[in-house]
Amino acid sequence: MDPLNLALASGSTRRRFLERAVVGGVAFAASPVVAQSLVDLHLPGDPSQRSMTSAFPGKGSMILQRTRPPLLETPMAVFDKDVFTPNDQFFVRWHWADIPTSIDVAAFRLAIHGAVNRSLSLSLAELLSLPRVEMAAINQCSGNSRGFFQPRIPGAQWGHGAMGNARWLGVRLRDVLDLAGVKPGAVAVRFNGLDQPVVPDAPDFEKSLDIDHARDGEVMIAFGMNDQQLPLLNGFPIRLIVPGWYSTYWVKMLSDIEVLTAPDDHFWMAKAYKVPATPGADVVPGGKDFPTVPISKMVPRSWVTNLPEGGQVAFGPAIAVGGIAMGGDTGVKQVEVSVDGGQTWHPTALGPDHGKYSFRRWDAHVALAQRGPIPVMSRCASSAGVIQPMRPIWNPGGFMRGNVETTNIVVG
Amino acid sequence: MKILAIGLTAFVLVAVVAPHSRAAAPARVSAHGFALTSLTVELPFDETQYPDGPGADVINANCTACHSASMALTQPALTRDQWSAIVSKMADTYKAPIDRHDMPAIVAYLTAMSARLPGAKGPAPRTSNEATTG
């Protein structure tokens, strides 16, 4: 297909999607979550099965981890279709159940206040009029893959699908801060969204970034996600984009930006989402006496996506193995695959480069010596030279998993 | 308020001219080729209760205001100490309005639930329960 036809085809797909979104997106009737089918996350222990659901607004078929507040996981097969995750299958994670279900774009305001020369209350029309930037970036939950930690760790028992990659359209946070004028002495910027705790005195969900990070020109306020407005459950109308950093900082339904003159001592920065200040955030299971720091940059990861766990594959001289990789806070240099438990590694061909914060497709044909059970592994090296380790880490939060993952297949 | 006034006018006109037509289109904001349209959704509700057993009424009464039962029902096998730390964290850190007298029954229910999981072994290694979220 030539580039023009390709553009036309994708444009027509986009229009169809828009029409569906308009018809189905204006109002949804409340209905109970009904299990449509079960999926096995292949966690190391029960309960490993989850229901599939399509009951959530703006969302197609998702793995149901929790209805209220919603925790919805993306099935791995979705990642095999494209390096960009469709909005209607992009994972969902909320901390508190008081989530606004109606957003009036004419009335919505983003407040900027604190250590600034001029406090602002920006309308969406004003935000849409600022200089635009677009960036492909992976949004991954700090606890993605927590269900695979051993010993097991309490918390959301995610498989690998608490992540997604999108083209984010929006404005630079720096430009918005400059409109307000950051005062000398500012050290951090705190972000709050419209979601609220359901009980009095509970800690509202807020996160902060150091002032230099907030003003680095990469951190964005996004109103577009893969050419569409964001689904409400992904933070409509605007959310923070912190490329290369875990999703906990990507505050949804962003409504309040406060410039601070002292480090953020509120709960979600001072107490939650802390990781050991050890190499790889790794400690001996059960260990307690270690210093901690707020979680920050992501680490390299990769997954086989074309073969399901436990899948049966017909024997042949070679099998096609393909998947996705990420460099973490930088790009992907290379991905290798192994079918012998990590003894030997084979090169793969990388797909198009959509920028260092995006998923990167990789594919290979790997020779098979015999029939039987085969562990298929992939190993990413980031452009900074960081290579995924074989050994899993452990920490009490179940954060930052990044080891080589295995997909077990049976060749017969 | 100008926008609201226009909206009301439009609604009245629609009501007069076409009483059976649908409500006015949701508000829309656009600039430089990108538009945002107001959104109203309803989130599905969850009917799942904690399964019957000693203390089920207590846990259903105390633990479904903030989160679905599935949060607990999807957890791996945890020890009594782990469940106790989690229930305390819900009350102390997240301000869950749990009746203190009900806490032993809640911990007992969850511990028994863990013990029934297939493959549940003896006590797992002790793990600290700091703010586990994500």
**What's the ipTM?**
0.89
Closest CA to B38 of A335, A290, A87, A232: A232
**How many angstroms separate the CA of residue B16 from the nearest CA in chain A?**
24
Q: Best of B34, B41, B107, B110 to disrupt the A interface by mutation (most A CBs within 10 Å)?
A: B41
- The pLDDT mean for chain B works out to 80
pLDDT over threshold 90, residue A195: yes
CA distances (Å), A157 to each of A47, A375, B74, B133, in order?
9, 23, 7, 10
pLDDT over threshold 50, residue A17: no
The fraction of chain B above a pLDDT of 90, given in percent, is: 65
Strands A71-73 vs A220-225: parallel, antiparallel or unpaired: unpaired
A15 confidence band (pLDDT: 50, 70, 90): very low
Q: How many angstroms separate the CA atoms of A103 and A239, rounded?
A: 14
Hey, is the C-beta of A67 within 8 angstroms of any chain B C-beta? yes
**DSSP tag of A280:** G
**Contact at CB, A101 and B43, closer than 8 angstroms:** yes
Hey, is the C-beta of A101 within 8 angstroms of any chain B C-beta? yes
Averaged pLDDT for residues A333-354? 98
Q: Quickly count: other Cβ atoms within 10 Å of residue A340's Cβ.
A: 15
Q: Which of B40, B65, B68 sits opposite A27 (nearest CB)?
A: B40
Q: How many angstroms separate the CA atoms of A329 and A319, rounded?
A: 31
CA A264 to chain centroid, in Å, comes to: 24
What's the whole-model pTM score? 0.89
**Tokens 């690998």 — which residue?**
A160
Residues of chain A in contact with residue B26, where contact means CB-CB under 8 angstroms, are: 26
Hey, is the C-beta of A398 within 8 angstroms of any chain B C-beta? yes
Closest CA to A382 of A406, A364, A358: A358
- Judge if the upstream peptide bond of residue A69 is cis by omega within 30 degrees of 0: yes
Residue A139 β-bridge partners = A164
B5 confidence band (pLDDT: 50, 70, 90): very low
Q: Residue window 33-62, chain B: list those with CB within 8 Å of chain A.
A: 34-48
pLDDT over threshold 70, residue A279: yes
A34 confidence band (pLDDT: 50, 70, 90): low
Angle between helices B103-115 and B80-92 (to 10 degrees): 140
Q: How many angstroms separate the CA atoms of B58 and B56, rounded?
A: 5
The fraction of chain A above a pLDDT of 70, given in percent, is: 92
Q: How many angstroms separate the CA atoms of A273 and A267, rounded?
A: 10
Q: Residue window 103-122, chain A: list those with CB within 8 Å of chain B.
A: 103-106
Residues of chain B in contact with residue A248, where contact means CB-CB under 8 angstroms, are: 134
A302-340: pLDDT as tens digits:
999 999 999 999 999 999 999 999 999 999 999 999 999
A30 confidence band (pLDDT: 50, 70, 90): low
Q: Look at residue A171 in the predicted model and tell me its pLDDT.
A: 98
Size of interface A-B (CB pairs under 8 A): 210
**Contact at CB, B93 and A203, closer than 8 angstroms:** yes
pLDDT over threshold 50, residue A26: no
Averaged pLDDT for residues A123-147? 98
Q: Look at residue B29 in the predicted model and tell me its pLDDT.
A: 97
Hey, is the C-beta of A59 within 8 angstroms of any chain B C-beta? no
B17-54: pLDDT as tens digits:
344 445 678 899 999 999 999 999 999 988 889 999 99
A231-247: pLDDT as tens digits:
999 999 999 999 999 99
